[in-house]
């Protein structure tokens, strides 16, 4: 990889809906006895959203490399804490990264996620708001806000937040799944199935999507399809 093509290690999406290792945390109050699991970001699960572009003199390039290495080391410390579920340490290290990357919306977003995982909803919402201050079109922040609002009150209308997330990123499978869960909670299986179809296109191996199908079909009274869908997560795990 050329020096001017070093990927930014701080702007990546972790697929937290993919079954993985502990720790676990509640997905939403609409999924009874189901958990969303934190996973170890691996090359196959990391999606680079932007890259560093450096066109400097040799001297400036060396300084850039040193700064990049320092930030990468800091990120690795945060990542180790994430993998252990040590949210306090993760937040502390990510806040140090935030000071180095003040305009990157993903950094405060992941800080907000850590607050959400440990049940600190006020600080989570504050962090998501900071994320949107850097980019109003950062879809994950709207999804995070929707999840926190549902955790505080399952009857909260979060459709506008989820609609905005999908509008900003039409390929954001987790937002479709969350909206489907919301519709299921409010006994609207037809709307849920439509969103589950969209989620399934983008997350074809998601056990949570299949569980959503099972709930939707059973809510419609279609027991056969419901039971068939309920068997799919077993095949996927």
Q: What is the pLDDT of residue 159?
A: 97
Q: Is position 216 within any domain?
A: no
Q: What is the pLDDT of residue 66?
A: 58
Structure tokens at 78: 């945060």
Q: Is position 230 within any domain?
A: no
Distance, CA of 43 to chain centre = 16
Cβ atoms of 115 and 123 within 8 Å: the answer is yes
Q: Is position 109 within any domain?
A: yes
Q: Is position 181 within any domain?
A: no
Cβ atoms of 189 and 183 within 8 Å: the answer is yes
* DSSP secondary structure, the chain, as one string: --GGGPBPTT-EE--TTS--SSPEEE--TTSTT-EEE-----GGG-EE--B------HHHHHHHHHHHHHHHHHHHHHHHHHHHT-HHHHHHHHHHHHHH-TT-THHHHHHHHHHHHTT-HHHHHHHHHHHHHH-TT-HHHHHHHHHHHHHH-TT---HHHHHHHHHH-TT-HHHHHHHHHHHHHTT-HHHHHHHHHHHHHH-TT-HHHHHHHHHHHHHTT-HHHHHHHHHHHHHH-
For residues 121 and 30, give the distance between their C-alpha atoms in angstroms, rounded to a whole number: 17
Q: How many CA atoms lie within 13 A of 89 on its CB side?
A: 13
CATH number of the domain residue 54 falls in? 1.25.40.10
Q: pLDDT per position in the chain (237 positions), as tens?
A: 332 222 333 433 433 333 222 233 333 333 333 334 343 333 332 332 333 233 333 444 444 555 566 678 888 899 999 999 999 999 999 999 999 889 999 999 999 999 999 999 999 999 999 999 999 999 999 999 999 999 999 999 999 999 999 999 999 999 999 999 999 999 999 999 999 999 999 999 999 999 999 999 999 999 999 999 888 877 766
Q: Structural domain tally of the chain? A: 1
Residues in the chain, total: 237
Q: Is position 41 within any domain?
A: yes
Cβ atoms of 157 and 186 within 8 Å: the answer is no
Q: What is the pLDDT of residue 93?
A: 92
Q: Is position 50 within any domain?
A: yes
Task: Give residue 156's domain range.
Answer: 3-169
Q: Is position 190 within any domain?
A: no
Structure tokens at 116: 């959400």
Q: Is position 116 within any domain?
A: yes
């Amino acid at each position: 990889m050329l020096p001017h093509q070093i990927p930014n290690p701080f702007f990546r999406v972790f697929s937290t809906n993919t079954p993985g290792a502990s720790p676990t945390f509640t997905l939403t109050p609409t999924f009874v006895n189901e958990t969303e699991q934190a996973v170890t970001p691996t090359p196959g699960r990391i999606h680079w959203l932007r890259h560093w572009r450096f066109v400097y003199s040799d001297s400036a390039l060396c300084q850039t490399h040193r700064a990049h290495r320092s930030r990468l080391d800091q990120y690795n410390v945060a990542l180790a804490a994430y993998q252990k579920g040590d949210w306090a340490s993760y937040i502390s290290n990510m806040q140090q990264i935030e000071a180095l990357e003040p305009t990157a919306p993903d950094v405060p977003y992941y800080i907000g996620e850590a607050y959400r995982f440990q049940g600190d909803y006020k600080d989570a919402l504050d962090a998501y708001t900071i994320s949107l201050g850097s980019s109003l079109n950062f879809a994950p922040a709207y999804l995070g806000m929707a999840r926190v609002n549902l955790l505080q009150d399952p009857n909260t209308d979060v459709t506008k937040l989820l609609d905005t997330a999908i509008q900003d990123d039409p390929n954001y499978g987790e937002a479709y799944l969350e909206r489907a869960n919301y519709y299921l909670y409010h006994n609207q299986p037809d709307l849920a199935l439509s969103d589950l179809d969209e989620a399934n296109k983008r997350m074809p191996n998601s056990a949570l999507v299949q569980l959503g199908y099972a709930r939707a079909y059973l809510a419609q009274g279609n027991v056969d399809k419901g039971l068939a869908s309920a068997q799919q997560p077993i095949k996927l795990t």
